[in-house]
Structure 1
Amino acid sequence: MNTKNWFARPVFYVVMGLFIVWTYTVLGYGDKAAAFFYPEDHFFENVQFIILVVTGGLTLYAFWLAYKNRQALRTHWIKLAAYLALALFFFFIAGEEISWGQRIFNIATPESIAEVNAQQETNLHNLDIFEYSDYFSFDRLFTYFWLGFAVIVPMVSLFWNRFREFAGKYIPIGYWAMGLLFLLNYAFVKISKIIYGGIYAYSEIPLAQAIKQTKELNYYLLLACLSAYFIWQLKQRIAAKSAEG
């Protein structure tokens, strides 16, 4: 593997790991910090939106690279569709995070939506059918997504060549070690509930919501890194094909 692959270097994981840990320490910074970071349309949510838009843009660029070089790389149309679907998925989550600009543009929620939306906002992830589901809430569905896409598939591909060859034909496969950062973030969700349960005291935002904002920020950042890895991976393959003549 090319030595310029930052995603294979320990320093990347040290920096990202420390950042993830730091974001959870903010829970103990007091009410002023909580008021700055956690409410809707404040720092964490705004950064989440920006990261998701960037991630969507990176994945769209990966799609363009794969499509432009589809004959040389022999890229299956399903894999091209997977790149495009991922890009649209990230843009969709970005829109959901800000309720599609509802609060920014001061748009009232239609009564028909408000009646079936837990937060009376113009979005899908807060609809009662998802919000009050034990297994199919948007939060749980997103967990299924990253666990399968960023952890299980890369890990299985690392040890099972036939699976890697089959899956790699139809979907982009992330770098296995990045899955460990997703698991680290998940672990700190659980750890933070124990550590900060008796410390966090900001009454406007419950601890569970503050932790949710934190974990989402980290997951979105890791997905941005994953999209950057896909671009690097594609450029390496394109360069290798060009070298072959």
Structure 2
Amino acid sequence: MDQDARLQQIAQWLQSQPLVTVRDICERFGVSRDTARRDLVKLQEQGTIMRARGGAVPAAVPDFRQRQDEQAESKRALAAAAASYIRDGATVFLDASTTVSYLAEFVKEKRLTVVTASVPIARSFAELEGTDVYTLGGRVNKRDLYASGSMVIAMLDYFRADVALLGACGVYRGEMTVQDAEDAMIKQKMIARSDEVLLLADRTKLGMRLPFSVGALEDVDVLLTDAPAEAVQQAKAGGAAPKHIHTVGI
């Protein structure tokens, strides 16, 4: 297979999954690691992909609804595990991640105060009888369906949360990384205004390096993940570790 045909197949492959590694390319096409890396460089020059640690991610980020369906089983399992850390009567910060969006179905019996900038997450919790919901105001990002900007950051100062639940876009060398600068700032503020921080990261997020850093894993009280131990060790290599790692079986 020539390079053009291989590049086309790699690009199509990335439309159906969030990460393709150099190793994946080597095994699928029977090429060397150097050849696989050259393919990724070429695709990045074309604007088709973005390089990530050990592989590539799509250049065009899917919208909220598309991402919610990706790794859905893993995300639901992580949300279910996270629910066990939330006490009845707690005030909870929820970011706009698709993993966190699955939480509502697992806390139906708890009385909570939920603070979020996410439109779909606010709606799902508004349907629960025992939950008070506060929405953070700002301009709504139409792709990811959350409010962002200085008004959101300022409103977070009115609250003090028992726990913040954050979804990881990427975990790389002991840092939480995200695609969007405003998302990073909201997460940082939620961490600063919470007594406890839970980070939910399915296996595709570990080793993912994205442009903006939220902060170090040492700011996280519990990392919940379905990734194998080796992947967790690699993701925190060279950096600080979370206080506790909760491995979720799928």
Calculate the TM-score normalised by the size of structure 1.
0.28
Q: In proportion to residue count, which structure has more helix?
A: 1
Q: In proportion to residue count, which structure has more strand?
A: 2
Larger Rg: 1
Greater RCO between the two (CA within 8 Å, min separation 6)? 1
Calculate the TM-score normalised by the size of structure 2.
0.28
